[in-house]
Amino acid sequence: MAQSAQVSSVDAIETFRASLLIYLGKAKPALEQVSAEVLRTRVWVQSTQRSHWEHQLKLRLRKLEEARGELFNARLSQFHESTLLHTMAVQKAQRAVEEAEAKVAVLKKWSREMESRAEPLLKQLEQIHGYLTTELTKGAVQLAQIVKTLDAYTGTVPLGQGTAAAAAASLPATPATEATDAPGKDPAP
């Protein structure tokens, strides 16, 4: 004699499937946002900031050369006050050039470090995203199939697909309901 399966709650499986779909709907965009943020930061460090500070370095070198030229001209003219002011201008321009050189060096270092540190983490994110996209999506489809199979086995109406009217229609008619359903007849007392 065949034993029957002990199916206690198909609704629990459907609830789990719904929770899994909600999780997938939230996790995928979050992972995509993190990947986009890393890419945006990489572009900012490697392109935007680097080109900005390389341009600043060129401008500051040009200003340093101008200040040195003015100092040279002031020394030739033998004005002591203007020589002091021009020396201070050269020192200020030199500090600005050193600052820009330091920024460019730091950006080059950050660019190298970012690649070595971010790349393994991005690969892990891609793996998680792939798992979410393929395996968990397949799991949700399989859970739906399990629910259908169990509903067919138990002979119940799947969650959310039945209505009170459908349930009432499946009940056998009683004499009292037959009397009220017939047109022109009064219900029995």
The Cα 114–Cα 170 span in angstroms is 66
The Cα 1–Cα 34 span in angstroms is 57
Q: How crowded is residue 40: how many other Cβ atoms within 10 Å of its Cβ?
A: 11
Q: Are 144 and 159 in contact (CB under 8 A)?
A: no
For the chain, the residue count is 189
pLDDT of residue 188: 47
Taking phi over 0 as left and psi of -120 to 50 as alpha, with beta for the rest, 164 belongs to alpha
The Cα 46–Cα 110 span in angstroms is 8
Contacts of 18 (CB under 8 A, 6+ apart): none
Q: Are 122 and 35 in contact (CB under 8 A)?
A: yes
Is the whole-model pTM more than 0.75? no
Contacts of 122 (CB under 8 A, 6+ apart): 35, 38
- The crossing angle, in degrees rounded to 10, of helices 10-43 and 80-131 is 160
DSSP string computed for 33-64: HHHHHHHHHHHIIIIIIHHHHHHHHHHHHHHH
pLDDT of residue 79: 62
- Give, for all 189 residues of the chain, the pLDDT tens digit: 456 666 678 888 899 999 999 999 999 999 999 999 999 998 999 889 999 999 999 999 999 999 999 888 888 877 666 688 888 999 999 999 999 999 999 999 999 898 889 899 999 999 999 999 999 999 999 999 999 988 888 775 555 555 444 444 444 444 444 444 444 444 444
Q: Are 107 and 57 in contact (CB under 8 A)?
A: no
The Cα 167–Cα 111 span in angstroms is 66
Cα distance between the two ends of the chain: 49
For the chain, which domains are there? 10-181 (1.10.287)
